[in-house]
């Protein structure tokens, strides 16, 4: 009985470690590289995980929001993928920098030239987008994922505030508050291209700030890894102590 009482907590402790290390259910999502501020420009990554064990992802279609059309959309070239950009006429023309624009990109499609996204892997599909709207806090992009076995998963259900996440949620890009710098594109994709074209590498203060930011990010990542390892070691030590204590009680 004493051994059983010790063994049960030990098993539960090991099971707890297993649950903590199990990855959460993954779905197609979108995140900015840096910030996505209202009225500015940004590079956003659509993260597409392969959720099948017996098929690869061979096609990804992303539909841009029709209620907030984006005048500038440019995909990044990706080895192993053919990219098709679809433009459509706008019901209401956009005015950007004093110029009226009657059509905009409404869909971007990536089709694999080779194996695509194999089981156990994910792929990021970057887009440079702008000008981001100022009258909303988020943009909803609907995505369709096609597998090599012809299975199609539609990530098109719009998440609702205060409700449980739907089974196949659409990717949602949350926009941050605008600032004067964001309106001029200094923190988005527009500023990045301008800086590269001019050859301006930035002042010493800017370089120092960038180095500090990179260092902080590295330190944070290292700390998280150390804490994770410590947690596992402590859990394993607890299991070993419980078994050892049980044996001592049995021997006594």
Tens-digit pLDDT profile for residues 16-46: 433 343 344 579 999 999 999 999 999 999 9
Indicate the average pLDDT of the chain: 75
pLDDT of the residue at 184: 47
For range 206-210, the mean pLDDT: 44
| Distance in angstroms (rounded) separating the CA atoms of residues 194 and 12 | 57
pTM (2 decimals)? 0.63
Burial 101-122 (b: 16+ CB within 10 A, else e): eeebbbbbbbebeeebbeeeee
pLDDT of residue 179: 73
Is pLDDT of 102 > 70? yes
Confidence band, pLDDT 50/70/90 cuts, at residue 201: very low
Residue 210 reports pLDDT greater than 50: no
- Return the pLDDT at 211: 44
Is pLDDT above 50 for 76? yes
pLDDT, position 92: 81
176 has a pLDDT exceeding 80: yes
Inter-residue contact 126 to 140 (CB < 8 Å): no
Residue-level pLDDT at 72: 93
Higher pLDDT, 221 or 92: 92
Q: Tell me, what's the pLDDT at 26?
A: 79
pLDDT band at 90 (very low <50, low <70, confident <90, very high): confident
* Amino acid 236: pLDDT: 56
The mean pLDDT of 214-226, rounded to a whole number, is 47
Q: Beta-carbon neighbour count of residue 185 at 10 Å?
A: 20
Q: Is 70 exceeded by the pLDDT of residue 135?
A: yes
Q: What's residue 182's pLDDT? A: 52
| Gap between the Cα atoms of 223 and 242, Å rounded | 28
d(CA 132, CA 37): 7
The Cα–Cα gap between 39 and 185 comes to 8
Opening angle at CA 102, ends 99 and 104, nearest 5:
105
More confident residue, 220 or 112: 112
The larger pLDDT score, comparing residue 178 to residue 127, is at 127
pLDDT, residue 1, reads 47
């Amino acid at each position: 009985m004493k051994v059983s009482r010790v063994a049960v907590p030990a098993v539960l402790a090991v099971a707890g470690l297993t649950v903590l290390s199990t990855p959460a259910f993954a779905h197609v999502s979108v995140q900015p590289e840096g910030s996505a501020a209202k009225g500015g420009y940004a590079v956003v990554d659509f993260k597409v995980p392969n959720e099948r064990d017996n098929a690869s992802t061979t096609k990804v279609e992303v539909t841009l929001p029709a209620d907030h059309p984006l005048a500038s959309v440019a995909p990044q070239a990706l080895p192993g993928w053919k990219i098709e950009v679809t433009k459509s006429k706008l019901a209401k023309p956009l005015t950007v920098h004093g110029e009226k624009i009657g059509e905009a990109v409404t869909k971007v499609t990536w089709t694999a030239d080779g194996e695509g996204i194999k089981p156990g892997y994910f792929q990021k599909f970057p887009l440079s987008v702008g000008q981001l709207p100022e009258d909303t806090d988020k943009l909803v992009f609907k995505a369709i994922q096609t597998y090599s076995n012809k299975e199609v998963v539609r990530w098109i259900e719009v998440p609702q505030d205060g409700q449980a996440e739907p089974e196949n949620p659409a990717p949602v890009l949350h926009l941050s508050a605008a600032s004067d710098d964001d309106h001029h594109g200094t923190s988005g994709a527009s500023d990045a291209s301008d800086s590269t074209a001019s050859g301006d590498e930035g002042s010493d203060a800017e370089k120092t700030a960038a180095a500090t930011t990179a260092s902080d990010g590295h330190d944070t990542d290292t700390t998280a890894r150390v804490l994770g390892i410590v947690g596992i070691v402590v859990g394993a030590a607890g299991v070993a102590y419980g078994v050892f204590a049980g044996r001592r009680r049995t021997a006594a």
